[in-house]
């Protein structure tokens, strides 16, 4: 009789843990609509402004050098810079989603999830999948809004797929940062802030580097220096593939490390 009661209690506890695990996993959400709307509005603004980029190119020499670094054509250079700036924001959103794995751990919610039937490695994989999908979705929004608004203003419908492709060209960098984030959480959780430092460094070097004539060795320190500066340039897929493979490898290392270490 006592054993039957104990078995019933254990079953109730297991059901509770599974339920709580589903609830905690349900807390993971894609980027809020406000963030998506902000990027969309900025994308439209950049696309509309591209029509008058000639006056911008004739302005300060620093701006002219920045546009020329991206493309000899001022309009394409401006579109490439605009895509990069918004891609940096999309990358930040993807990092935040991947980094929520650390927040789940520190808050104790990860323990609730893993106390059920969820295997340890599946938790970081879920965060990776959500971060990649969010990054991809935001890049699509960026490319579509810039391309649609610029295409409408210029009367060229071909700008839409062109700019969507330019935005998706930044995806290897986004994947790299997601992998770096998961690796940091898995291997050195106390340094999980590291991806933010690398993102800030990449943004500063990429934007400030051309006007300051920084050497190539310094420019190569920026992750975004290794993705194509689309639109309007020839694409060398090798750096992007290396970046993508590095991101996947870092993510795999992070998942394995997280699955083996003790939770804090």
Q: Per residue in 190-220, pLDDT tens?
A: 999 999 999 999 999 988 887 787 888 988 9
- Which pLDDT value is given to residue 84? 93
d(CA 31, CA 124): 18
The reported pTM is 0.83
Does residue 158 surpass a pLDDT of 90? no
Least confident of 82-86, 109-113, 223-227: 109-113
161 Cβ contact list (under 8 Å, min separation 6): 147
Q: pLDDT grade, residue 260 (50/70/90)?
A: confident
Examine residue 231 and say whether the peptide bond preceding it is cis (omega within 30 degrees of 0). Answer: yes
- Which pLDDT value is given to residue 232? 77
In a domain, 19, yes or no: no
Per the structure, the complete domain to which residue 149 belongs is given by 36-260
In a domain, 12, yes or no: no
Instruction: Kindly state the average pLDDT of the residues 147-157.
Output: 89
Chain-centre distance for alpha carbon 164: 16
- Which pLDDT value is given to residue 71? 65
Least confident of 120-129, 131-140, 242-251: 120-129
d(CA 46, CA 87): 13
In a domain, 8, yes or no: no
- Which pLDDT value is given to residue 124? 87
- Which pLDDT value is given to residue 69? 67
Q: Do 112 and 20 touch, CB atoms closer than 8 A?
A: yes
In a domain, 27, yes or no: no
Written as six digits, the tokens of 47 are 């696309």
Does residue 244 surpass a pLDDT of 70? yes
In a domain, 21, yes or no: no
- Which pLDDT value is given to residue 254? 94
- Which pLDDT value is given to residue 10? 44
- The more confident residue out of 185 and 264 is 185
In a domain, 28, yes or no: no
- DSSP states of 176-245 as a string? HHHHHHHHHHHH-GGGTTHHHHHHHHHHHHHHHHHHHT--HHHHTTSGGGGS---SSS---HHHHHHHHH
Longest dimension (CA), the chain: 88
In a domain, 147, yes or no: yes
- The more confident residue out of 263 and 19 is 263
Instruction: Kindly state the average pLDDT of the residues 19-47.
Output: 69
| Total domains in the fold of the chain | 1
Least confident of 5-19, 106-120, 239-253: 5-19
Question: Mind listing the pLDDT tens digit for each residue in 60-106?
Answer: 555 666 666 666 677 888 888 899 999 999 999 999 999 988 877 77
In a domain, 24, yes or no: no
Helix/strand/coil percent split, the chain, to 5: 80, 0, 20
């Amino acid at each position: 009789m006592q054993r039957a009661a104990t078995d019933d209690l254990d079953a109730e506890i297991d059901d509770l843990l599974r339920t709580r695990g589903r609830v905690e996993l349900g807390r993971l959400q894609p980027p809020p609509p406000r963030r998506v709307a902000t990027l969309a509005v900025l994308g439209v603004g950049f696309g509309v402004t591209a029509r008058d980029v000639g006056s911008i190119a004739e302005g300060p020499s620093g701006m002219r050098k920045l546009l020329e670094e991206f493309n000899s054509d001022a309009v394409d250079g401006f579109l490439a810079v605009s895509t990069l700036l918004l891609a940096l924001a999309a990358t930040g959103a993807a990092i935040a989603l991947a980094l929520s794995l650390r927040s789940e751990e520190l808050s104790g919610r990860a323990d609730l999830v893993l106390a059920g039937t969820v295997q340890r490695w599946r938790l970081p994989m879920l965060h990776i999948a959500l971060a990649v999908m969010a990054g991809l979705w935001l890049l699509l929004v960026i490319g579509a809004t810039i391309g649609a608004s610029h295409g409408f203003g210029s009367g060229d419908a071909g700008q839409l797929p062109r700019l969507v492709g330019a935005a998706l060209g930044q995806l290897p960098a986004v994947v790299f940062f997601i992998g770096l984030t998961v690796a940091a959480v898995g291997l050195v959780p106390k340094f999980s802030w590291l991806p933010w430092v690398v993102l800030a460094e990449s943004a500063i070097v990429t934007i400030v580097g051309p006007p300051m004539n920084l050497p190539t060795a310094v420019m190569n320190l920026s992750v975004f220096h290794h993705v194509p500066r689309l639109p309007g340039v020839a694409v060398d897929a090798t750096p992007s593939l290396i970046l993508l493979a590095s991101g996947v490898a870092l993510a795999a290392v992070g998942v394995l490390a997280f699955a083996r270490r003790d939770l804090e």
